[in-house]
Amino acid sequence: MAISRNKVNHFAPSTAEYVVAHAKWRKSRGRKPSATYSLHKNPTKALKWARRYAYFPISGKYLEGKVPEYYVCGGCGETGIKLWREYQTSLEQTTLLCMACSCNEQSKARIPTEDGCSLYTGTVFHFYRTEGMLPNQGIGYNPKEGPPPEAIEIYTVQERTDQIGWRVPAVPTEGCMNFWGYTSVPSAGVKWWRNLPFACQ
C-alpha cells in the first residue's frame, strides 16, 4: 500500500514508526529502506528491528484524540489532564492521580517545563567549560567551591523528569482498559500524553 511523504513525516525520525513508514514510502517508489534505527546503522537490519517495536494507532489516531472516561484523578476528580500511576502495580490496584495530587502523595515538588512535556525536579546541576572543550561539553562542579580558574564559561542545567516519586505517566492502551508499561509506551501514546495539560485551565 502506497504511503505519502507527509504521512511519514507525521512520526519523529528517531522512532520505530518512522522507520517502518519511511520504508513503505521508499518501497512505493521502487527503492530500498534507507532509515536507521537506534544502534542499527544498516537500513535493512534497522527496519527488521523497528518492526518489532512500531505501533500504529488502531483508528489511525491514538485513542482518536480523546480522553477515556476512566481517565480521572482519584484525588480531586479532575479529567482531561495528565495523570500518573504507580510504577509496577497491577491494574486492580492502580490509582490515577494528577500532578498536584501525586506531588502531595509522594511528598515531591515538581514544576512543569516550558514545553509542557516534562517536569523540573528542583535539582540544579552546575557545569564549567574550559578553552579546549567543545561548546556542548562541560564538567560538573560544586557551587560552594566554585569553578576552577581555567573555566571560561559556567552554566546550570535543571534536572528534568516525567516521574513523581514512584509514580510514572499513565498512558492508556487502545482497545482495553489498561496502561502501557513505563518503558513500552509507543511514540503515539507519548505524544497523546504530552498534549494533555498539567491542570485544568
As a whole number of angstroms, the distance between CA 49 and CA 72 comes to 36
pLDDT at 201: 64
CA–CA separation, 82 vs 86, rounded Å?
14
- Looking at residue 135, what is its pLDDT? 84
In degrees and rounded to multiples of 5, residue 179 shows phi and psi of -135, 145
Taking the C-alpha atoms of 135, 137, 143 and 149 in order, what is their torsion angle to the nearest 10 degrees?
-70
Q: What is the pLDDT along the chain (201 residues), one digit of tens a residue?
A: 568 888 888 888 888 999 999 999 999 889 999 999 988 999 999 999 999 888 988 888 899 989 999 999 999 999 999 999 999 888 889 999 999 999 999 999 999 999 989 999 999 999 999 998 998 889 999 999 999 999 999 999 999 999 999 999 999 999 888 999 998 899 899 999 999 999 876
**The pLDDT value given to residue 1:** 54
The pLDDT assigned to 14 comes to 85
Domain ranges of the chain: 5-53, 65-115+164-195, 120-161
| pLDDT (0 to 100) of residue 9 | 87
H-run or E-run covering 140: strand 139-140
Rounded to two decimals, what is the model's pTM?
0.81
How confident is the model over 160-175, as pLDDT tens digits? 999 999 999 999 999 8
Q: How far apart are CA 153 and CA 128, in angstroms?
A: 6
CB under 8 A, 24+ apart: contacts of 196-200? 196/67, 196/80, 196/81, 196/82, 197/80, 197/81, 197/82, 197/116, 198/81, 198/82, 198/98, 198/99, 198/112, 198/116, 199/78, 199/81, 199/98, 199/99, 199/100, 200/78, 200/80, 200/81
pLDDT recorded at residue 60: 83
Q: What is the pLDDT of residue 104?
A: 97
